[in-house]
Structure 1
């Protein structure tokens, strides 16, 4: 296998550290399985341009222009402004566009507008994305305001209270549409379909013209057609080397959906995917998560290819086999529990390839499908991605983070002893049971919580996991070694929600990202509602102190009950009040202190991943005899190669 020497870390720039992940056990797969992984990986990489375009109307043109300048050779690489352009381009690659991948604010270029114009005029014109009759100056005049003017398309997802969150968001899901118009458009669609309505709007752009509102579908023959054609081609190749017939049926149904855009077909695909349990290899490919839409309706394109870690999956299998017990003993009102938990499947997997909204920044746990009625009737699949968490853990060892922010040596000892184990278990519980728990009351609109829905759903899953982390059932099932272990998770969770996640927020800004809001909501609510946890000052620094772990669990139970009620009843006002009161505001003095302490550690607050290169090995007859894994490719080379080999939309 090529690239046997392995280094987890690669390049660091801005606030980002790039890591590599290793394909543990890949050489133990059969040749057919490795070929299956390869074909699915190609389908994953061809979605990249879709995600760029979804995240901003001008992203693809900006990326191609910057790449042309960067690779042309006409400019002096030692120049200060060229170095700033290089960093800006690396950030654009990382975030699939010009907006921060987490905070959604537009990057501020460190080079001048004049330098940008001169650079564009210096390069080979054929390498620039010039439309018919367009000059270089025309292109610069189009792109420069978007890049340099803070007030032009300023934020990819804007959820600030009191604004039209559709009109003020720069994501490319709507054109000329207001928030009220979009909400009414989809409300009317759902009203005619009942409880099993498809996910209207998931795979379309909503456009307003003189004739009114209409949707433009992301299909093989519609928007993003050239990219989707390559995706379906490689999905077809994958079906020829799939492990079993159920996998073939899943792929064929997904291809049908890509060709028709029919969301009923997507639901059929989702059900087949949930029920396809045999085989070691699985994948996600499509318009899935809705965090990038301020209304939480439209799915960003994402892809991941994975294979089971059989030994580690014993842990998640234990959880899923006891799913009914967890549901029955949940502290929520019995009306909101599922009387029968169906089809809960959980695996620990190794990622083999990441793409779209899962690359370079990715989740470490996934639970799908998102449709509540499919979860209730057919179940869900959850995964914890072990080779990514392994890379994170190895990169974090000895960086001084916990020494700086943990209150005392005893608590630090708990974290050292139990931290990695508890982090994995929390992810398992969050994805496998948290997202899969509870039920909506009949007639409740799944989108009733609107812009607050994502935060409430993430809080629900985290609270479920936190509640059961402290249950003796964890020890009885052999998932934790003793009743002290959960305290590690309680402390690091509260520390993150109250303090350390603030390193990802610019001074003076509010919290807007759904996962961050969720953590802040839980931690701040627990501080406000009891005496179990608080912030204290010691030696001029602020720390989290947990005074009563049992009392904190009781607060978690109380909040879980309320959050589930809000979700089950579709109580928009209660969701809004909870999020706006506890999840948004930042104490500026605490924030400034945390930023200063963190800066002294010289740690990048964000991590992302470089994909391995999967390369077919062929014999003299052209037959594939192996799939070689190469870990030696660097970040810049990979991004430029992807732009050359997988660019379909410009």
Structure 2
């Protein structure tokens, strides 16, 4: 049985203000109104995210808001009036803050449950601040504190005992796959969930403001019937279709986006917003796809936005998207760097270790900007984004890359970073943020932006010479597999697709980071060798600390990015004579564990290790070789007994994950928009959420 301590919410987590006021104040009055209504729409999706994380998350969210209103922001009342100790009060606030940062009681980075450090008895005692809060706590206390069986502390498939809010009841993976195959050519899955009642009846829930009749009124016969057969599950097995999942929220979101249309800068923004409204009101992801086409064409707006059911990382099947909304302003100075990277993208892509047949026929330079985030509605805030995730749009229309500057530049704590040798610590601390900026830029633009999916685009029509298929650099033989009509990268590679693609993009970053001409774009000339060293050391450390997110009982990875980084560490450790990266220790408890990375061997060992791994990842993806791709990724992300030994010390030395306080906008009586920032603390973070309309 795992110690309860393992699940405790972070204590002393660093809290940073995600300030964007300086850039917001530079907008025109019209742009401020556009940003305001978009931001409002994004945050109105918060309850959707909560429902997607765990069944109890929305109720806990309401409990936290009730607590805030009861103390009216004066948390000291929990000590003076209720009688908690100051430490107990702090632990309660820290749980609330961590919950809101993740918009649920499972970590957005790791998909593992966390529980309060304050005891259940003391939490119940604090809840007596009002009879209503005491009653609310009683309804969710078991779900807040339960960590048994251990499988329920992880998000995943129900049949494995894990928790999910994408699938209700005893839905099996076989049923998920069969239903996906049955409707794959008719609808996209990102805005759906699947339920199964006690009698075994299956229902596909589609997110929309309207019900079934409303969807049919909007789209006629171009909607799923109210029920359909799933032959793969047996004769007579039917699935009901129900529109109207998240109906309240999506109606309000559509209303807010309709207001934003009044302040759009151009036709692309107007058409994008109309498509968003249609998608959220009526449940069509085809309309959302249309919105993304206009979004890609809207080059260099002063206010950058995106919204919808975007990333599929948290669905155990890897196909259903979590709600997300971004509103940000351009940092023009930083964007200049990325503009130079975009201008050189074609040249750098030709340096990647595969022939042109495995690359897009035509590279369309994307919009790549550095943004100062005003609003990021989601369960976690990334450092960079490459979207849209619709493969056909990426291949034919294009995509955008954004680097989130005020996320990247968040101040780091001064405490010693675990597993870095003393002799490497100063250069690591000095250059880890600049090195990460380079990594994010390459990862998003040249990682996610590279590659061609060899496909039969329609019956008998191929986007490659099917009579003379490309020669694989892995075995010098023609590829024999490709994507069939209607298939996508995600549908073919399934649950591993998200992590696999993150790994491929990370490898592209590691492969090109050694290019000193590229490093000059980011201002690194004299310190280029140090930046390269820190980039490789930072990746090795990321692979080691990834063990926190691997569960030794289920051997399940809880986060796609860290799973990818762990596999890269393995590539470093196992390449050649195994002298490039070593994990050194002298104590039996591994408390002095350190990473020794030989910087003199980056070009002779580290870079070749990445080349070999990247080549396989890319070719298997490009050619839809799911058999070899899956075998490779399962092998490279498996945790040996030797490496599993280090998991306990990794957990003991883990640093709390940073939390971000975002500002809010408010519409004044005179029609102007006020941007309000909050205290850079857990208390300020809680208040920022309470002030939002959700």
> Are the equivalent residues in 2 in contact too, given 1:350–1:387 (CA < 8 A)?
yes
1:560 aligns to what?
614
Deviates more, 1:109-118 or 1:170-179: 109-118
1:497-536 superposed matches below 5 A: 497-502=542-547, 511-531=557-577, 533-536=580-583
1:161 aligns to what?
none
Secondary structure of residue in 2 paired with 1:16: coil
Q: In the aligned structure 2, how far is the partner of 1:212 from the partner of 1:67?
A: 36
Pairing partner for 1:395 from 412, 437, 440: 412
1:628-639 superposed matches below 5 A: 628-632=675-679, 634-639=681-686
Deviates more, 1:209-218 or 1:262-271: 209-218
1:188-587 superposed matches below 5 A: 188-190=182-184, 192=185, 200-209=188-197, 212-221=201-210, 222-357=244-379, 361-391=380-410, 394-396=411-413, 398-401=414-417, 405-407=419-421, 409=423, 411-412=424-425, 414-415=427-428, 418-443=431-456, 444=483, 445=487, 446=489, 447-474=491-518, 480-481=524-525, 484-502=529-547, 511-531=557-577, 533-537=580-584, 541-546=593-598, 547-551=600-604, 552-585=606-639, 587=643
> Are the equivalent residues in 2 in contact too, given 1:452–1:575 (CA < 8 A)?
no
1:591 aligns to what?
647
Residues 346-397 of structure 1 deviation map (CA, whole Å, 9 limit, x = unaligned) = 111111112133xxx3101000001111111011001001112112xx234x
2:62 aligns to what?
64
Q: In the aligned structure 1, how far is the partner of 2:550 from the partner of 2:195?
A: 33
2:95 aligns to what?
88
Deviates more, 1:490-499 or 1:259-268: 490-499
In structure 2, the CA distance between the partners of 1:78 and 1:486, relative to structure 1 (3 Å rule), is: closer
1:34-49 superposed matches below 5 A: 34-49=32-47
Q: In the aligned structure 2, how far is the partner of 1:632 from the partner of 1:122?
A: 25
**Aligned-pair Cα RMSD in Å:** 3.1
1:173 aligns to what?
166
Q: In the aligned structure 1, how far is the partner of 2:496 from the partner of 2:675?
A: 45
Q: In the aligned structure 2, how far is the partner of 1:632 from the partner of 1:309?
A: 23
Residues 554-577 of structure 1 deviation map (CA, whole Å, 9 limit, x = unaligned) = 221111110012212333343443
In structure 2, the CA distance between the partners of 1:584 and 1:94, relative to structure 1 (3 Å rule), is: farther
In structure 2, the CA distance between the partners of 1:512 and 1:629, relative to structure 1 (3 Å rule), is: closer
Residues 511-531 of structure 1 deviation map (CA, whole Å, 9 limit, x = unaligned) = 431100100101112221224
In structure 2, the CA distance between the partners of 1:610 and 1:84, relative to structure 1 (3 Å rule), is: closer
> Are the equivalent residues in 1 in contact too, given 2:367–2:399 (CA < 8 A)?
yes
Deviation at 1:13, TM superposition (A): 4.8
In structure 2, the CA distance between the partners of 1:106 and 1:13, relative to structure 1 (3 Å rule), is: closer
> Are the equivalent residues in 2 in contact too, given 1:283–1:304 (CA < 8 A)?
yes
Deviation at 1:55, TM superposition (A): 0.5
> Are the equivalent residues in 2 in contact too, given 1:15–1:606 (CA < 8 A)?
no
> Are the equivalent residues in 2 in contact too, given 1:169–1:294 (CA < 8 A)?
no
Deviation at 1:314, TM superposition (A): 1.3
Q: In the aligned structure 1, how far is the partner of 2:647 from the partner of 2:408?
A: 27
> Are the equivalent residues in 1 in contact too, given 2:154–2:558 (CA < 8 A)?
no
- Structure 1: 5+ residue runs without aligned partners? 1-11, 129-135, 159-163
Deviation at 1:220, TM superposition (A): 1.7
Deviation at 1:274, TM superposition (A): 0.9
In structure 2, the CA distance between the partners of 1:430 and 1:121, relative to structure 1 (3 Å rule), is: same
> Are the equivalent residues in 2 in contact too, given 1:219–1:259 (CA < 8 A)?
yes
Q: In the aligned structure 2, how far is the partner of 1:122 from the partner of 1:449?
A: 51
In structure 2, the CA distance between the partners of 1:122 and 1:435, relative to structure 1 (3 Å rule), is: same
In structure 2, the CA distance between the partners of 1:500 and 1:480, relative to structure 1 (3 Å rule), is: same
TM-score, structure 1 normalization: 0.83
In structure 2, the CA distance between the partners of 1:156 and 1:288, relative to structure 1 (3 Å rule), is: farther
Q: In the aligned structure 2, how far is the partner of 1:645 from the partner of 1:512?
A: 30
Deviation at 1:538, TM superposition (A): 6.5
Q: In the aligned structure 1, how far is the partner of 2:691 from the partner of 2:516?
A: 54
Q: In the aligned structure 1, how far is the partner of 2:524 from the partner of 2:608?
A: 20
Residues 588-643 of structure 1 deviation map (CA, whole Å, 9 limit, x = unaligned) = 443344455x47xxxx430020012334455xxx232x534434475335435634
> Are the equivalent residues in 2 in contact too, given 1:220–1:229 (CA < 8 A)?
yes
In structure 2, the CA distance between the partners of 1:55 and 1:478, relative to structure 1 (3 Å rule), is: closer
Deviation at 1:76, TM superposition (A): 3.0
Deviates more, 1:116-125 or 1:171-180: 116-125
Secondary structure of residue in 2 paired with 1:25: helix
1:62-211 superposed matches below 5 A: 62-65=60-63, 67-68=65-66, 72=70, 75-78=82-85, 84-111=91-118, 123-125=130-132, 136=135, 140=138, 144=142, 147-151=145-149, 154-158=152-156, 168-176=161-169, 177-190=171-184, 192=185, 200-209=188-197
Pairing partner for 1:19 from 16, 40, 43: 16
In structure 2, the CA distance between the partners of 1:577 and 1:15, relative to structure 1 (3 Å rule), is: farther
In structure 2, the CA distance between the partners of 1:345 and 1:43, relative to structure 1 (3 Å rule), is: same
Q: In the aligned structure 2, how far is the partner of 1:263 from the partner of 1:530?
A: 47
Q: What number of residue pairs does the alignment pair up?
A: 598
> Are the equivalent residues in 1 in contact too, given 2:193–2:206 (CA < 8 A)?
yes
Q: In the aligned structure 2, how far is the partner of 1:475 from the partner of 1:59?
A: 44
In structure 2, the CA distance between the partners of 1:34 and 1:412, relative to structure 1 (3 Å rule), is: same
Pairing partner for 1:623 from 662, 668, 671: 671
Deviation at 1:216, TM superposition (A): 1.4
> Are the equivalent residues in 1 in contact too, given 2:261–2:273 (CA < 8 A)?
yes
Deviation at 1:416, TM superposition (A): 5.5
Secondary structure of residue in 1 paired with 2:325: strand
> Are the equivalent residues in 1 in contact too, given 2:335–2:368 (CA < 8 A)?
yes
TM-score, structure 2 normalization: 0.78
In structure 2, the CA distance between the partners of 1:294 and 1:616, relative to structure 1 (3 Å rule), is: same
> Are the equivalent residues in 2 in contact too, given 1:384–1:427 (CA < 8 A)?
yes
> Are the equivalent residues in 1 in contact too, given 2:385–2:402 (CA < 8 A)?
yes
In structure 2, the CA distance between the partners of 1:76 and 1:347, relative to structure 1 (3 Å rule), is: same
Residues 213-258 of structure 1 deviation map (CA, whole Å, 9 limit, x = unaligned) = 3321111221212212222222122221222222121111111111
> Are the equivalent residues in 2 in contact too, given 1:316–1:346 (CA < 8 A)?
yes
Deviation at 1:481, TM superposition (A): 1.7
